[in-house]
Copies of this chain bind each other. A is one copy, B any other.
Amino acid sequence: MSDNHKILLDEKDIPTHWYNVVADMPNPPAPYLGPDGQPVTPDAMSTIFPPALVEQEMSAQRWIEIPEPVREIYRLWRPSPLYRARRLEQALGTPAKIYYKYEGVSPAGSHKPNSAAAQAYYNQQAGIKRLTTETGAGQWGSSIALVGGMFGLDVRVYMVKVSYQQKPFRRSMMQTWGAEVLASPSDLTQAGREALAADANNPGSLGLAISEAVEEAASRSDTNYTLGSVLNHVLLHQTVIGLETRKQLEKVGDYPDVIFAPCGGGSNVGGMMFPFLADKAAGKEIRLVAVEPDSCPTLTRGHYAYDFGDTVGLTPLMLMYTLGHDFMPPSIHAGGLRYHGDSALVSQLYKEGILEAVAVPQLATFEAGISFAKTEGIVPAPESCHAIRATIDEAMHCKETGESKTLLFTLSGHGHFDMGSYDKYLAGELEDYEYPEAAIKDALSHLPQV
Protein backbone atom coordinates (compact mmCIF):
# COMPACT_ATOMS: atom_id res chain seq x y z
CA MET A 1 0.00 0.00 0.00
CA SER A 2 2.76 2.44 0.95
CA ASP A 3 3.75 3.29 -2.63
CA ASN A 4 0.21 3.42 -3.97
CA HIS A 5 -1.08 6.43 -5.83
CA LYS A 6 -4.71 5.68 -5.03
CA ILE A 7 -6.32 4.87 -1.72
CA LEU A 8 -9.56 3.05 -2.48
CA LEU A 9 -12.54 1.99 -0.40
CA ASP A 10 -15.20 -0.65 -1.07
CA GLU A 11 -18.77 0.24 -1.85
CA LYS A 12 -19.73 -0.97 1.61
CA ASP A 13 -17.57 1.89 2.96
CA ILE A 14 -19.83 4.54 1.42
CA PRO A 15 -21.09 6.48 4.45
CA THR A 16 -24.46 5.39 5.81
CA HIS A 17 -25.13 8.84 7.29
CA TRP A 18 -24.45 12.41 6.28
CA TYR A 19 -22.78 14.58 8.90
CA ASN A 20 -24.63 17.72 10.00
CA VAL A 21 -22.12 20.30 11.18
CA VAL A 22 -24.84 22.30 12.93
CA ALA A 23 -24.62 19.80 15.80
CA ASP A 24 -21.01 20.80 16.47
CA MET A 25 -21.02 24.53 15.75
CA PRO A 26 -20.13 26.80 18.67
CA ASN A 27 -23.27 28.82 17.98
CA PRO A 28 -26.56 27.87 16.28
CA PRO A 29 -26.90 29.09 12.71
CA ALA A 30 -28.57 32.44 12.20
CA PRO A 31 -32.11 31.92 10.84
CA TYR A 32 -33.11 32.75 7.27
CA LEU A 33 -35.44 35.75 7.20
CA GLY A 34 -38.54 36.34 5.08
CA PRO A 35 -39.59 39.60 3.42
CA ASP A 36 -41.20 40.59 6.74
CA GLY A 37 -37.89 40.27 8.58
CA GLN A 38 -39.20 37.25 10.50
CA PRO A 39 -37.56 33.79 10.40
CA VAL A 40 -38.74 31.77 7.42
CA THR A 41 -41.13 28.94 8.31
CA PRO A 42 -40.89 25.39 6.97
CA ASP A 43 -44.26 25.96 5.32
CA ALA A 44 -42.94 28.84 3.27
CA MET A 45 -40.04 26.70 2.03
CA SER A 46 -42.24 23.75 1.15
CA THR A 47 -43.67 25.59 -1.85
CA ILE A 48 -40.58 24.61 -3.80
CA PHE A 49 -38.85 21.93 -1.64
CA PRO A 50 -40.05 18.53 -0.39
CA PRO A 51 -40.61 18.08 3.38
CA ALA A 52 -37.50 15.96 3.94
CA LEU A 53 -35.21 18.63 2.50
CA VAL A 54 -36.93 21.42 4.44
CA GLU A 55 -36.39 19.36 7.59
CA GLN A 56 -32.72 18.82 6.75
CA GLU A 57 -32.32 22.52 6.01
CA MET A 58 -33.32 23.32 9.60
CA SER A 59 -32.05 20.22 11.41
CA ALA A 60 -29.53 20.20 14.25
CA GLN A 61 -29.30 16.38 14.36
CA ARG A 62 -25.65 15.30 14.02
CA TRP A 63 -26.10 12.25 11.78
CA ILE A 64 -28.80 11.93 9.12
CA GLU A 65 -29.29 8.55 7.49
CA ILE A 66 -28.64 8.29 3.77
CA PRO A 67 -31.59 6.47 2.18
CA GLU A 68 -30.62 3.20 0.49
CA PRO A 69 -31.82 4.30 -2.99
CA VAL A 70 -29.45 7.29 -2.76
CA ARG A 71 -26.54 5.07 -1.71
CA GLU A 72 -27.48 2.83 -4.64
CA ILE A 73 -26.91 5.78 -7.01
CA TYR A 74 -23.71 6.77 -5.15
CA ARG A 75 -22.37 3.28 -5.83
CA LEU A 76 -22.17 4.03 -9.54
CA TRP A 77 -19.06 6.10 -8.80
CA ARG A 78 -18.46 6.19 -5.04
CA PRO A 79 -16.38 5.83 -2.94
CA SER A 80 -14.32 8.24 -5.01
CA PRO A 81 -10.55 7.68 -4.95
CA LEU A 82 -8.17 9.55 -2.68
CA TYR A 83 -4.85 10.09 -4.44
CA ARG A 84 -1.43 10.66 -3.00
CA ALA A 85 0.07 13.18 -5.44
CA ARG A 86 3.47 11.51 -5.52
CA ARG A 87 4.46 12.81 -8.93
CA LEU A 88 3.45 16.38 -8.09
CA GLU A 89 5.33 16.24 -4.77
CA GLN A 90 8.41 15.03 -6.60
CA ALA A 91 8.16 17.72 -9.29
CA LEU A 92 7.85 20.40 -6.59
CA GLY A 93 10.65 18.90 -4.54
CA THR A 94 8.60 19.52 -1.43
CA PRO A 95 8.87 17.61 1.83
CA ALA A 96 5.08 18.02 2.18
CA LYS A 97 2.74 15.10 1.53
CA ILE A 98 -0.09 16.01 -0.84
CA TYR A 99 -3.39 14.14 -1.05
CA TYR A 100 -6.35 14.91 -3.27
CA LYS A 101 -9.87 13.55 -3.24
CA TYR A 102 -11.02 13.17 -6.85
CA GLU A 103 -14.72 13.87 -7.34
CA GLY A 104 -14.47 14.02 -11.15
CA VAL A 105 -15.19 10.28 -11.32
CA SER A 106 -18.94 10.91 -11.19
CA PRO A 107 -20.61 10.58 -14.61
CA ALA A 108 -21.34 14.33 -14.55
CA GLY A 109 -17.69 15.06 -13.77
CA SER A 110 -17.84 16.78 -10.40
CA HIS A 111 -19.04 16.42 -6.79
CA LYS A 112 -22.43 17.94 -7.66
CA PRO A 113 -24.32 14.63 -8.12
CA ASN A 114 -23.78 13.85 -4.40
CA SER A 115 -26.56 16.30 -3.61
CA ALA A 116 -28.49 15.91 -6.87
CA ALA A 117 -29.11 12.21 -6.14
CA ALA A 118 -30.48 13.03 -2.69
CA GLN A 119 -32.64 15.89 -3.92
CA ALA A 120 -34.12 13.83 -6.73
CA TYR A 121 -34.88 10.97 -4.34
CA TYR A 122 -36.68 13.08 -1.72
CA ASN A 123 -38.71 14.82 -4.41
CA GLN A 124 -39.75 11.50 -5.90
CA GLN A 125 -40.74 10.28 -2.43
CA ALA A 126 -42.89 13.39 -1.99
CA GLY A 127 -44.82 12.57 -5.17
CA ILE A 128 -43.16 15.28 -7.23
CA LYS A 129 -43.04 14.56 -10.99
CA ARG A 130 -40.87 17.36 -12.33
CA LEU A 131 -37.78 19.26 -11.25
CA THR A 132 -36.58 22.64 -12.43
CA THR A 133 -33.20 24.17 -11.97
CA GLU A 134 -30.86 26.72 -13.50
CA THR A 135 -27.37 26.23 -14.78
CA GLY A 136 -24.59 28.46 -16.00
CA ALA A 137 -21.56 26.52 -17.17
CA GLY A 138 -23.56 23.34 -16.68
CA GLN A 139 -22.09 21.31 -13.80
CA TRP A 140 -25.22 21.43 -11.66
CA GLY A 141 -27.65 21.11 -14.56
CA SER A 142 -25.75 18.00 -15.71
CA SER A 143 -25.96 16.49 -12.25
CA ILE A 144 -29.72 16.90 -11.95
CA ALA A 145 -30.14 15.65 -15.51
CA LEU A 146 -28.09 12.56 -14.65
CA VAL A 147 -30.11 11.52 -11.60
CA GLY A 148 -33.55 12.94 -12.41
CA GLY A 149 -34.27 10.28 -14.99
CA MET A 150 -32.95 7.57 -12.67
CA PHE A 151 -35.71 8.50 -10.22
CA GLY A 152 -38.33 8.78 -12.96
CA LEU A 153 -38.55 12.58 -12.80
CA ASP A 154 -38.79 14.98 -15.72
CA VAL A 155 -36.10 17.63 -15.54
CA ARG A 156 -36.19 21.11 -17.05
CA VAL A 157 -32.99 23.13 -16.95
CA TYR A 158 -32.94 26.87 -17.56
CA MET A 159 -29.50 27.42 -19.02
CA VAL A 160 -28.10 30.94 -19.26
CA LYS A 161 -28.56 31.78 -22.95
CA VAL A 162 -24.99 32.83 -23.62
CA SER A 163 -23.74 29.49 -22.23
CA TYR A 164 -26.46 27.63 -24.12
CA GLN A 165 -25.12 29.12 -27.35
CA GLN A 166 -21.40 29.15 -26.64
CA LYS A 167 -20.99 25.93 -24.66
CA PRO A 168 -23.28 23.45 -26.39
CA PHE A 169 -21.59 20.28 -25.09
CA ARG A 170 -22.83 20.46 -21.51
CA ARG A 171 -26.27 21.03 -23.05
CA SER A 172 -25.90 17.91 -25.22
CA MET A 173 -24.84 15.94 -22.16
CA MET A 174 -27.98 16.98 -20.23
CA GLN A 175 -30.13 16.06 -23.24
CA THR A 176 -28.39 12.70 -23.55
CA TRP A 177 -29.55 11.93 -20.02
CA GLY A 178 -33.07 12.99 -21.04
CA ALA A 179 -33.41 16.49 -19.58
CA GLU A 180 -35.13 19.34 -21.37
CA VAL A 181 -32.77 22.29 -21.67
CA LEU A 182 -34.06 25.79 -22.39
CA ALA A 183 -32.15 28.96 -23.11
CA SER A 184 -32.89 31.52 -20.41
CA PRO A 185 -34.53 34.01 -20.66
CA SER A 186 -37.35 31.91 -22.14
CA ASP A 187 -40.94 32.84 -22.98
CA LEU A 188 -42.28 30.22 -20.56
CA THR A 189 -42.15 32.38 -17.43
CA GLN A 190 -43.17 35.89 -16.53
CA ALA A 191 -39.60 36.68 -15.48
CA GLY A 192 -38.34 35.48 -18.85
CA ARG A 193 -41.01 37.26 -20.88
CA GLU A 194 -40.36 40.55 -19.09
CA ALA A 195 -36.65 40.27 -19.71
CA LEU A 196 -37.22 39.51 -23.40
CA ALA A 197 -39.71 42.36 -23.74
CA ALA A 198 -37.09 44.75 -22.38
CA ASP A 199 -34.35 43.30 -24.57
CA ALA A 200 -35.08 40.64 -27.18
CA ASN A 201 -31.36 39.82 -27.29
CA ASN A 202 -30.94 39.45 -23.51
CA PRO A 203 -27.97 37.06 -23.09
CA GLY A 204 -29.32 35.80 -19.76
CA SER A 205 -27.73 35.59 -16.33
CA LEU A 206 -27.64 33.05 -13.52
CA GLY A 207 -29.85 35.29 -11.39
CA LEU A 208 -32.50 35.46 -14.11
CA ALA A 209 -32.33 31.71 -14.74
CA ILE A 210 -32.91 31.11 -11.00
CA SER A 211 -35.93 33.39 -11.17
CA GLU A 212 -37.38 31.40 -14.07
CA ALA A 213 -36.77 28.02 -12.41
CA VAL A 214 -38.18 29.16 -9.06
CA GLU A 215 -41.20 30.82 -10.69
CA GLU A 216 -42.10 27.64 -12.54
CA ALA A 217 -41.64 25.44 -9.47
CA ALA A 218 -43.72 27.78 -7.31
CA SER A 219 -46.56 27.85 -9.83
CA ARG A 220 -46.95 24.06 -10.34
CA SER A 221 -47.84 21.61 -7.61
CA ASP A 222 -46.16 18.68 -9.43
CA THR A 223 -42.88 20.57 -9.76
CA ASN A 224 -40.11 21.46 -7.34
CA TYR A 225 -36.94 23.51 -7.56
CA THR A 226 -33.39 22.26 -6.94
CA LEU A 227 -30.23 24.18 -6.08
CA GLY A 228 -26.64 22.94 -6.30
CA SER A 229 -24.90 24.85 -3.50
CA VAL A 230 -25.31 27.43 -0.71
CA LEU A 231 -28.16 25.76 1.20
CA ASN A 232 -27.57 23.71 4.35
CA HIS A 233 -29.05 20.51 2.93
CA VAL A 234 -26.75 20.70 -0.10
CA LEU A 235 -23.66 20.97 2.08
CA LEU A 236 -25.02 18.17 4.27
CA HIS A 237 -25.23 15.79 1.28
CA GLN A 238 -21.72 16.72 0.22
CA THR A 239 -20.23 15.55 3.53
CA VAL A 240 -19.80 12.10 1.97
CA ILE A 241 -16.62 13.63 0.49
CA GLY A 242 -14.99 14.39 3.82
CA LEU A 243 -16.33 11.28 5.55
CA GLU A 244 -14.81 9.01 2.92
CA THR A 245 -11.56 10.97 2.95
CA ARG A 246 -11.20 10.48 6.71
CA LYS A 247 -11.53 6.73 6.28
CA GLN A 248 -9.05 6.73 3.41
CA LEU A 249 -6.45 8.68 5.38
CA GLU A 250 -6.95 6.38 8.36
CA LYS A 251 -6.21 3.47 6.05
CA VAL A 252 -2.73 4.88 5.43
CA GLY A 253 -2.31 6.22 8.97
CA ASP A 254 -2.32 9.88 8.01
CA TYR A 255 -4.19 13.04 8.97
CA PRO A 256 -4.18 16.46 7.27
CA ASP A 257 -2.46 19.53 8.68
CA VAL A 258 -4.17 21.75 6.13
CA ILE A 259 -7.21 21.19 3.88
CA PHE A 260 -7.91 23.34 0.82
CA ALA A 261 -11.13 23.42 -1.19
CA PRO A 262 -12.38 25.74 -3.93
CA CYS A 263 -15.13 28.02 -2.68
CA GLY A 264 -18.04 29.41 -4.71
CA GLY A 265 -21.32 28.77 -2.90
CA GLY A 266 -19.55 26.55 -0.40
CA SER A 267 -20.69 23.01 -1.25
CA ASN A 268 -17.16 21.75 -1.75
CA VAL A 269 -15.82 23.46 1.36
CA GLY A 270 -18.65 22.14 3.50
CA GLY A 271 -18.49 18.69 1.94
CA MET A 272 -14.81 18.18 2.56
CA MET A 273 -14.18 20.22 5.70
CA PHE A 274 -17.22 19.85 7.94
CA PRO A 275 -16.40 16.22 8.82
CA PHE A 276 -13.01 17.41 10.18
CA LEU A 277 -14.51 20.26 12.16
CA ALA A 278 -15.38 18.40 15.33
CA ASP A 279 -11.71 17.36 15.60
CA LYS A 280 -10.71 21.00 15.46
CA ALA A 281 -13.26 21.87 18.12
CA ALA A 282 -11.73 19.08 20.22
CA GLY A 283 -8.35 20.76 20.00
CA LYS A 284 -6.81 19.04 16.98
CA GLU A 285 -4.48 21.32 15.05
CA ILE A 286 -5.89 21.50 11.56
CA ARG A 287 -6.27 24.42 9.18
CA LEU A 288 -9.33 24.53 6.93
CA VAL A 289 -8.82 26.93 4.03
CA ALA A 290 -11.48 28.00 1.51
CA VAL A 291 -9.93 29.18 -1.76
CA GLU A 292 -11.81 31.76 -3.82
CA PRO A 293 -11.02 33.77 -6.97
CA ASP A 294 -9.74 37.26 -6.25
CA SER A 295 -12.14 38.47 -8.92
CA CYS A 296 -15.05 37.35 -6.71
CA PRO A 297 -13.61 37.68 -3.19
CA THR A 298 -16.72 36.97 -1.15
CA LEU A 299 -15.10 35.80 2.08
CA THR A 300 -11.92 37.85 1.89
CA ARG A 301 -13.40 41.21 0.88
CA GLY A 302 -17.18 40.92 1.37
CA HIS A 303 -19.36 41.94 4.34
CA TYR A 304 -21.04 39.64 6.83
CA ALA A 305 -24.64 40.75 6.44
CA TYR A 306 -28.16 39.60 5.56
CA ASP A 307 -28.55 39.44 1.80
CA PHE A 308 -30.53 37.69 -0.91
CA GLY A 309 -29.24 34.46 -2.42
CA ASP A 310 -30.19 35.53 -5.93
CA THR A 311 -29.82 38.65 -8.00
CA VAL A 312 -33.46 39.64 -8.16
CA GLY A 313 -34.35 39.04 -4.49
CA LEU A 314 -36.72 36.04 -4.61
CA THR A 315 -34.93 33.98 -1.95
CA PRO A 316 -35.05 34.41 1.82
CA LEU A 317 -32.44 36.69 3.37
CA MET A 318 -29.42 34.79 4.63
CA LEU A 319 -26.73 36.00 7.03
CA MET A 320 -23.59 35.43 5.02
CA TYR A 321 -20.49 36.94 3.55
CA THR A 322 -21.63 38.78 0.47
CA LEU A 323 -20.40 41.23 -2.11
CA GLY A 324 -24.00 42.43 -2.55
CA HIS A 325 -26.67 40.56 -4.47
CA ASP A 326 -26.26 42.81 -7.49
CA PHE A 327 -22.47 42.39 -7.57
CA MET A 328 -21.53 41.24 -11.06
CA PRO A 329 -18.22 39.36 -11.08
CA PRO A 330 -16.18 39.47 -14.29
CA SER A 331 -16.55 36.60 -16.72
CA ILE A 332 -13.77 34.45 -15.29
CA HIS A 333 -13.44 30.86 -16.35
CA ALA A 334 -14.11 29.19 -13.02
CA GLY A 335 -17.84 29.64 -13.59
CA GLY A 336 -18.71 27.69 -10.46
CA LEU A 337 -16.98 30.29 -8.27
CA ARG A 338 -18.78 33.35 -9.63
CA TYR A 339 -21.23 33.83 -6.80
CA HIS A 340 -21.80 37.04 -4.86
CA GLY A 341 -22.53 35.27 -1.56
CA ASP A 342 -21.64 32.10 0.26
CA SER A 343 -23.25 29.35 2.27
CA ALA A 344 -24.56 30.72 5.60
CA LEU A 345 -22.87 27.84 7.46
CA VAL A 346 -19.50 28.42 5.79
CA SER A 347 -19.87 32.17 6.39
CA GLN A 348 -20.64 31.80 10.08
CA LEU A 349 -17.73 29.39 10.63
CA TYR A 350 -15.43 31.79 8.79
CA LYS A 351 -16.72 34.69 10.89
CA GLU A 352 -15.96 32.69 14.01
CA GLY A 353 -12.41 31.99 12.88
CA ILE A 354 -12.89 28.25 12.43
CA LEU A 355 -12.47 28.32 8.66
CA GLU A 356 -9.85 30.45 6.88
CA ALA A 357 -10.04 31.89 3.39
CA VAL A 358 -7.59 32.97 0.74
CA ALA A 359 -8.14 34.58 -2.67
CA VAL A 360 -6.00 33.68 -5.69
CA PRO A 361 -5.63 35.29 -9.14
CA GLN A 362 -6.89 33.52 -12.27
CA LEU A 363 -3.64 33.15 -14.23
CA ALA A 364 -1.91 31.53 -11.28
CA THR A 365 -4.73 29.00 -10.98
CA PHE A 366 -4.34 27.86 -14.60
CA GLU A 367 -0.57 27.69 -14.17
CA ALA A 368 -1.10 25.42 -11.17
CA GLY A 369 -3.67 23.33 -13.03
CA ILE A 370 -1.24 22.71 -15.87
CA SER A 371 1.56 21.72 -13.48
CA PHE A 372 -0.90 19.30 -11.96
CA ALA A 373 -2.01 17.87 -15.33
CA LYS A 374 1.59 17.33 -16.43
CA THR A 375 2.49 15.38 -13.30
CA GLU A 376 -0.71 13.68 -12.12
CA GLY A 377 -2.35 13.36 -15.54
CA ILE A 378 -5.88 14.57 -14.82
CA VAL A 379 -6.82 17.91 -16.41
CA PRO A 380 -8.59 19.73 -13.56
CA ALA A 381 -11.67 21.93 -13.74
CA PRO A 382 -10.84 25.64 -13.43
CA GLU A 383 -12.64 25.69 -10.07
CA SER A 384 -10.41 22.89 -8.79
CA CYS A 385 -7.34 24.78 -10.01
CA HIS A 386 -7.97 27.25 -7.19
CA ALA A 387 -7.43 24.58 -4.56
CA ILE A 388 -4.40 23.26 -6.45
CA ARG A 389 -2.86 26.76 -6.52
CA ALA A 390 -3.21 27.19 -2.76
CA THR A 391 -1.90 23.67 -2.12
CA ILE A 392 1.17 24.18 -4.31
CA ASP A 393 1.86 27.50 -2.57
CA GLU A 394 1.72 25.77 0.82
CA ALA A 395 3.88 22.91 -0.44
CA MET A 396 6.50 25.38 -1.66
CA HIS A 397 6.37 27.13 1.69
CA CYS A 398 7.06 23.76 3.30
CA LYS A 399 10.05 23.40 0.98
CA GLU A 400 11.46 26.66 2.34
CA THR A 401 10.83 25.77 5.96
CA GLY A 402 11.61 22.07 5.59
CA GLU A 403 8.28 21.08 7.16
CA SER A 404 6.75 17.80 5.99
CA LYS A 405 3.14 18.80 6.47
CA THR A 406 0.25 16.70 5.22
CA LEU A 407 -1.80 18.71 2.73
CA LEU A 408 -5.18 17.68 1.37
CA PHE A 409 -7.40 19.23 -1.28
CA THR A 410 -10.55 18.39 -3.18
CA LEU A 411 -10.11 17.94 -6.90
CA SER A 412 -13.77 18.79 -7.36
CA GLY A 413 -13.98 17.93 -11.05
CA HIS A 414 -12.26 17.37 -14.37
CA GLY A 415 -11.83 20.02 -17.00
CA HIS A 416 -13.08 18.10 -20.05
CA PHE A 417 -15.76 20.69 -20.71
CA ASP A 418 -13.46 23.60 -19.93
CA MET A 419 -10.79 23.15 -22.58
CA GLY A 420 -11.85 26.41 -24.22
CA SER A 421 -10.65 28.16 -21.05
CA TYR A 422 -7.32 26.32 -21.15
CA ASP A 423 -7.08 27.27 -24.81
CA LYS A 424 -7.44 30.94 -23.97
CA TYR A 425 -4.93 30.66 -21.13
CA LEU A 426 -2.36 28.93 -23.33
CA ALA A 427 -2.90 31.55 -26.06
CA GLY A 428 -2.18 34.31 -23.52
CA GLU A 429 -5.68 35.68 -23.84
CA LEU A 430 -6.65 35.51 -20.16
CA GLU A 431 -6.05 38.27 -17.64
CA ASP A 432 -6.10 38.71 -13.93
CA TYR A 433 -8.80 40.95 -12.60
CA GLU A 434 -8.88 42.37 -9.14
CA TYR A 435 -12.10 44.07 -8.22
CA PRO A 436 -11.68 47.80 -7.48
CA GLU A 437 -12.55 48.67 -3.89
CA ALA A 438 -15.01 51.31 -5.11
CA ALA A 439 -17.04 48.78 -7.09
CA ILE A 440 -17.31 46.46 -4.11
CA LYS A 441 -18.30 49.38 -1.86
CA ASP A 442 -20.97 50.36 -4.34
CA ALA A 443 -22.44 46.84 -4.50
CA LEU A 444 -22.34 46.56 -0.72
CA SER A 445 -24.24 49.83 -0.39
CA HIS A 446 -27.23 48.06 -1.94
CA LEU A 447 -27.49 45.44 0.80
CA PRO A 448 -31.09 45.07 1.99
CA GLN A 449 -31.85 46.85 5.26
CA VAL A 450 -32.90 44.32 7.89
Binding site for B on A (CB under 8 A): 1, 3-6, 8, 10-11, 75-77, 87, 105-107, 109, 146, 149-150, 168-173, 175-178, 370, 373-379, 414, 416-417, 419-420, 422-423, 426
Q: Are B109 and A416 in contact, with the CB atoms below 8 A?
A: yes
Which chain B positions have C-beta within 8 A of A420?
168-169, 172
Q: Which of B6, B87, B172 makes the CB contact (< 8 A) with A423?
A: B172
With A107-B379, A175-B422 known, 19 other A-B pairs at CB within 8 A are A4-B11, A5-B11, A5-B76, A76-B377, A105-B105, A106-B377, A109-B416, A150-B375, A150-B377, A168-B423, A169-B419, A169-B423, A170-B419, A173-B416, A175-B423, A176-B370, A176-B373, A176-B422, A416-B416
Tell me which of B10, B106, B175 contacts A426 (CB under 8 A).
B175
Copies in the complex: 2
Find out whether the CB atom of B11 lies under 8 angstroms from the CB atom of A10. Answer: no
5 contacts between A and B (CB under 8 A): A77-B377, A109-B416, A172-B423, A173-B379, A177-B373
Q: In the assembly, what is the distance between CA of A109 and CA of B423, in Å?
A: 19
Q: Closest chain B residue to A83 by CB distance?
A: B76
The answer to whether A422 and B172 touch across the interface, beta carbons within 8 angstroms, is: yes
CA–CA, A419 and B373, complex, Å: 23
Contact among B10, B109, B176, B414 for A4, CB-based, below 8 A: B10
Question: Given A169-B420, A419-B169, A423-B168, is A107 in contact with B377 using a C-beta cutoff of 8 Å?
Answer: yes
Identity of the chain B residue whose Cβ is nearest the Cβ of A378 in the assembled complex: B107
Cβ contact within 8 Å between A8 and B5: no
Residue of B nearest to A142 (CB): B379
The answer to whether residues A75 and B11 also contact, given A169-B419, A172-B426, A379-B107 and a CB cut-off of 8 A, is no
Instruction: Give the nearest-CB partner of A377 in chain B.
Output: B107
| Contact across chains for A75 and B4 when beta carbons are under 8 A apart | yes
Residues of B within 8 A of A173 (CB): 379, 416, 419, 422
A149 to chain B, nearest CB (A): 5
A374 to B153, CA, bound (A): 12
Measured CA separation A281–B167 after assembly (Å): 51
Which chain B residue lies CB-closest to A5? Answer: B75
